[in-house]
Amino acid sequence: MQPSSENPSAWRLLPLSAIIFTGFISIALPLPVLSLHVHDGLGFSLVTAGWVVGLQSLGTILTRPVAGALTDRHGAKRAVLMGLPLAAVSGLVYLASTWVADPWLSLAVLLVGRLIMGPAESLFLIGAMSWGIARLGPRRTGVVMTWQGIAMFVALGVGAPVGLWVMGRFGFPGVAIAAILLPLIGLLVAVGLKAVAPAGGGKRASFLSVLGIVWRYGAVLCAGIAPQAMLGSFVALYFAARGWEGAGLALTGFGIGFILVRLFFSHLPDRVGGRLVAGVSLAVEAVGQALLLVAPTSLVALMGATLTGAGFSLIYPAMGVEAVRRVPESSRGLAIGSFSAFVDLAVGLSAPLAGLLVLIGGHGAVFAAGGLGCLAAIALLLFSDRQRA
Per-residue buried b or exposed e for 47-70, using 16+ beta carbons within 10 Å of the residue's own CB: eebbbbbebbbebbbebbbbbbbb
- Answer with the residue of higher pLDDT: 270 or 116: 116
What is residue 44's three-state secondary structure? Answer: coil
- Residues 256, 309: contact at Cβ < 8 Å? yes
Residues written for the chain: 389
pLDDT reported for residue 5: 45
The C-alpha atoms of residue 314 and residue 275 are separated, in whole angstroms, by 11
How do residues 191-245 score in pLDDT, each as one tens digit? 988 877 776 555 666 667 777 777 888 888 888 887 877 776 667 777 877 888 7
Give the dihedral of Cα atoms 222, 224, 229, 231; nearest 10 deg. Answer: 150
The C-alpha atoms of residue 123 and residue 79 are separated, in whole angstroms, by 5
pLDDT reported for residue 1: 45
pLDDT reported for residue 61: 80
Mean of the per-residue pLDDT values of the chain: 82
Q: Is the pLDDT of residue 263 over 60?
A: yes
pLDDT reported for residue 385: 57
Measured in whole angstroms, the distance separating CA 323 from the mean position of its chain's CA atoms is 17
Q: Is the pLDDT of residue 177 over 70?
A: yes
**Phi, psi at residue 204, to the nearest 5°?**
-75, 135
Structural domains present in the chain: 1-192 (1.20.1250.20), 204-389 (1.20.1250.20)
Looking at residues 87-94, what average pLDDT do you find? 94
The C-alpha atoms of residue 305 and residue 70 are separated, in whole angstroms, by 39
The CA distances from residue 36 to 44, 50, 239, in Å, are 10, 10, 24
Q: DSSP string spanning 319-332?
A: HHHHHHTTS-GGGH
Enumerate residues 6+ apart whose C-beta is below 8 A from 343. Answer: 221, 225, 316
- Answer with the residue of higher pLDDT: 106 or 366: 106
The C-alpha atoms of residue 114 and residue 58 are separated, in whole angstroms, by 10
User: How large is the angle between the packed helices 207-242 and 364-388, nearest 10 degrees?
Assistant: 150
What is residue 102's three-state secondary structure? Answer: coil
Enumerate residues 6+ apart whose C-beta is below 8 A from 259. Answer: 150, 313
Per-residue buried b or exposed e for 256-290, using 16+ beta carbons within 10 Å of the residue's own CB: ebbbebbbebbbbbbeebbbebbbbbbebbbbbbb
**37: DSSP letter:** I
How do residues 309-342 score in pLDDT, each as one tens digit? 899 888 888 888 888 777 777 777 777 777 777 7
Closest CA to 70 of 296, 312, 306, 333: 333
How do residues 50-87 score in pLDDT, each as one tens digit? 777 777 777 888 888 888 888 878 888 899 999 999 99
pLDDT reported for residue 2: 45
